[in-house]
Structures are given as structure tokens and as C-alpha cells.
Amino acid sequence: MHISDGVLPLSVSIGSYAASALLVSWSTRHIRSENLPRMAVVTSAFFIASLVHVPFGPTSVHLLMPGLAGALLGPAAFISIGLGLLLQSLLFQFGGLTALGANTLIMGLPAMACGYFFQRFKGRTQLRQSIVGGAAGALGTMLAAIILAILLVTGGEDFFGVAKIAVAAHVPVIIIEGLISAFTIGFIARVKPALLQPSFYKKTKSIHD
Amino acid sequence: MTTLQKSLAISILCLMLAGQPGTLTAQEAPQETSQEIITLLKEQNRNLSQNLRRIQREIAALRADLDKPTIKDVFAGIGYIVGLFGFAAFAASRTRSR
């Protein structure tokens, strides 16, 4: 789910850079200093997740986990994902530096949407949290595929064709992502429920205070 | 040496020289060998190109392996992330205590 260098037209890459910079600065306002360790752990997990290949039938797919990052971090997930993608493109050569803005949008917007979705519907019981977490994981991957298609359309492709291909190619990822998110959220709900509390209650109490 | 012997030797020589046209028939022998050489060369060429293809495949596989992130990259990235967030925590604690 990475866009490589030179796929997007220049105006779109600059525009997506500007949009992600805006969202990153908005996202930093939601960081509270006591959540920094949580963010570090989730960022590291997101950074590594793309190396974890899950065997699926004849091929293997790798995790993306925007949904999980969003569920754990809320709006702060955007900066976490941006940092993870920057390091991935520098160290692993995933995606390119010119497409970094677009890639951050592809992963970051679904993460924030999933964070909202998870906090809105998580309920109180562990089972419900686990199910909603799984749904958030699946939703995150699907939204990422759709945003990828939208960005590729600006390169002059036909939207529904690209969207169909992108979503169809990610069906196994969506399923596995949902299962793994459900398992992880269920585990966290049992072991450390405090991690699932929203990290963005009081906007006024950011680190800039 | 008697003249008889001399004339015998000369006649043998003449016979041998006269037999030279026989080498015309023997001309086909080098053609056969050149055919064999050509087939040998072709076989050798095939072997070499096979080996070359194998080596090219190996180079491509090596290059693909080089593109894969190593364990070093993984730990470097985790170190960067932890360090950056540690720095953020440090900055946050400084601004708060002030």
C-alpha cells in the first residue's frame, strides 16, 4: 500500500505534503506528555508491522495496522504514522521520499477515522471492544485502499477501476488485519484496559502548555 | 648409388607428386572437422549462456535480498523512534517544570 516515487504528479505530491504537514501540526496539539511512551510503542509497532508477513494461501501479506494505531492513539496516531513511514522510507526503501506526504495521508486519515470509530462504539465489555477493534482494523485497511485509489486517480487513472483493484488486492489483508486487530485489542482490554482509554480528552492540556 | 636406384627414387617421387590430386578428395576431411568444431562451439556456447543466465538469476536474487531490510535497519528504526519520543518527553518535562 505504498505509492512509489514518480507515480503522482508533482502538484499532488506537494499538495499531499502540505495536507499532511497541516495534519501533523494539528496532531501534535493532541499529545499529552504522559502518552509519549504509548506513542513510542505504537510507532515502533507500526514501523515493524510491515515486516511481519502473514502466510495467506499461496502468497503472504504484510500487516498495515492503521486501525490499531488509530484505536490506541486517536488523533495523535497521525504523527506516529508519519514518523513510522518516514523511517520506513529511509531505512527500508518502502515508498519514496517525494511520495511520503501521500503515503502519510493514505495511512493517517484511516487511522484517525478508526480512532474515532473505536472510541465511539467500543462500549464496556471486553468482547465488544475486541469486535469493534477488529472492525476498526478492517475498516482502516479498506479506507487506506480507497484513499490510495483517490490519490492514484489524480495521476490520470479511472477511479472505479483502480478502487476495485486496490480493494480486491487487499481483501486478504483486510481479513487478516481485522482478525489480528480483534485479537490484539481483546488482549489489551484484558491485560491493560487503560491503554484503550482515549488519549485526547483534554485538548487544552497538551505539551505546549 | 646406382642409376637404377636413382631412377627408382625419382619415379617414386613422381608417383607421389602425381598422387597429389588425391588430396582433392581428402579436402572433405577438413570440412567434416570444421562441422564438428562448429557443433562443439555451439554446444560450448549453449553451456556458457546457460551458466550466464544462472549467474544473472543469482545476481537478481542477491539484489532482491539487498533490498530487503536487515535486522540492523529494524533496530536502527526502533532506536530512532524511542530516541525521538524520549527527546519529546524530555522537552515536555522541561517546559512543564519551568
What is the pLDDT at residue A93?
Answer: 79
What is the pLDDT at residue A201?
Answer: 52
Q: Which of A15-24, A50-59, A79-88, A189-198 comes out lowest in average pLDDT?
A: A50-59
Q: How far apart are CA A93 and CA A96, in angstroms?
A: 7
Q: Give the model confidence (pLDDT) of A148-200 as tens digits.
A: 888 888 777 677 777 777 778 788 888 888 998 999 999 988 888 888 877 65
Q: Give the model confidence (pLDDT) of A70-119 as tens digits.
A: 888 888 889 999 999 899 888 887 777 888 888 899 889 999 999 888 88
- Residue pair A114/A8 in contact (Cβ under 8 Å)? The answer is no
Cell readout for A65 is 495496522
Which chain B residue has its CA at the smallest distance from A84's CA? B81
Cell readout for B72 is 540492523
- Specify the pTM: 0.73
Q: How far apart are CA A165 and CA B24, in angstroms?
A: 74
* DSSP letter assigned to residue A193: G
- Chain B residues at the A interface, defined by Cβ less than 8 Å, are 67, 69, 73-74, 76-78, 80-82, 84-86, 88-89, 91-93, 95-96
Choose between B12 and A1: higher pLDDT: B12
DSSP run (H or E) holding A144: helix A126-153
- Which chain A residues have a beta carbon less than 8 Å from that of B92? 33, 36, 207
Where in chain B are the domains?
35-67, 69-98
Q: Give the model confidence (pLDDT) of B44-55 as tens digits.
A: 999 999 999 999
Residue A56 has pLDDT above 80, yes or no: no
What is the band of B63 on the pLDDT scale with cuts at 50, 70, 90? confident
Cβ of A14 under 8 Å from any chain B Cβ? no
